[in-house]
Chains A and B, each alone.
Chain A
Amino acid sequence: MELLVFVIASGMVLVGAVGVVAMRNPVHSALGLVLTLFGVAVHFVAMEAHFLAAVQVIVYAGAIVVLFLFVIMLLGVDTAEDLSIEPVPIQRPLAVIIGVGTVVLVGTAVIRTRDTIARGPELEASGDSNIRLLARNLFSDQVLAFELTSVLFIVAVAGTVLMTRKQKRVAPDRDRVGS
């Protein structure tokens, strides 16, 4: 049963990821991203990280993808891109080599160390639920980082508003004429 969940969710993740890369239309890429994010949320549930699964669906699949779609629609860049044009001649083979090399390198490291990495106790052995453990860690050990993220958000929001605001045209001397 768990194997079935793993296989189906992994299929969602990989199909969505390939869709993001291979689709010509950015809207379709965004929908592929939704599929991937839901697959990752299913994996989180399977690993009993329930709070993170909920946050994944709400923040990623909800807010971030909606923001992407909103920007795509706003800019009108939802025209299909011709993927057959290759601007730099050997770009794609090199990219594939880099990608496959990364996967092989990390995969080899994972497989070779699969028995030597220490194995800890069960996460919920103390009887506390996942969200309670997470909250205790977040608001005791990591509380400074938690507070700093609020500063980060203020800066990000203020900076974005300032950056994307349309410059107001300075009307030359209209006030002076009126007075």
Chain B
Amino acid sequence: MILAMVPNSTWYLLLAAVLFGIGAVGLLVRRNPLVMFMCIELMLNAVNLSFVAFAVRFGDIAGQTAVFFVMVVAAAEVVVGLGIIVSIMRRRPGATADDLAELKG
């Protein structure tokens, strides 16, 4: 009987909230810049999930278009962010986020 339940958009939104929370905690706790970056990706994915859930609920395709743009901008953001991390790490190997207080490189 319980297998006949169909997940609706509320379930997806709750899952997205939990995923966003995990990403936020990781961003605050971890000190490795790369892992912090991955946590940002987690939060972006949580928002994407809720966008698609709302698109299905409202019957409006614009929500899925927004997800498309989020993915595009996330790809560009990863390219720039990893470039910054590479050029920082090249000068200071093993730097954590605490060591990067000043932007002098």
A residues touching B (Cβ–Cβ < 8 Å)? 1-4, 6, 10, 13-14, 17-18, 20-21, 26, 29-30, 33, 36-37, 40, 43-44, 46-49, 51-52, 55-56, 59-60, 63-64, 67-68, 71-72, 74-77, 81, 87, 91-92, 94-96, 98-100, 102-103, 106-107, 110-111, 114, 117-123, 125, 130, 133-134, 136-138, 141-142, 145, 149, 152-153, 156-157, 159-160, 163-164
Contacts and interface: CB of A to CB of B under 8 A. Distances in A.
B15 interface: yes
Given A59-B75, A122-B59, A159-B80, A106 B86 contact: no
27 contacts: A14-B22, A20-B23, A20-B35, A20-B38, A21-B22, A21-B30, A36-B42, A40-B45, A43-B52, A44-B52, A49-B64, A64-B75, A64-B78, A68-B37, A71-B86, A75-B93, A91-B29, A99-B22, A99-B25, A110-B13, A119-B59, A120-B58, A120-B60, A137-B65, A149-B69, A149-B72, A160-B79
Contacts, number: 225
B31 A1 contact: no
A137 B37 CA distance: 31
B28 A98 contact: yes
Contacts of B98: 87
Contact of B55 (A6, A117, A123): A123
B79 A67 contact: yes
B72 A102 contact: no
Nearest to B98: A87
A163 to B, nearest CB: 5
Interface string B15-33: 1011111111110111110
A98 B23 CA distance: 11
Given A21-B39, A40-B49, 19 more contacts: A1-B3, A17-B23, A18-B22, A21-B35, A26-B35, A29-B34, A33-B38, A67-B79, A87-B31, A95-B29, A98-B28, A99-B28, A102-B20, A123-B61, A130-B64, A152-B76, A153-B72, A159-B80, A164-B87
A9 to B, nearest CB: 9
B71 A59 contact: yes
B21 A100 contact: yes
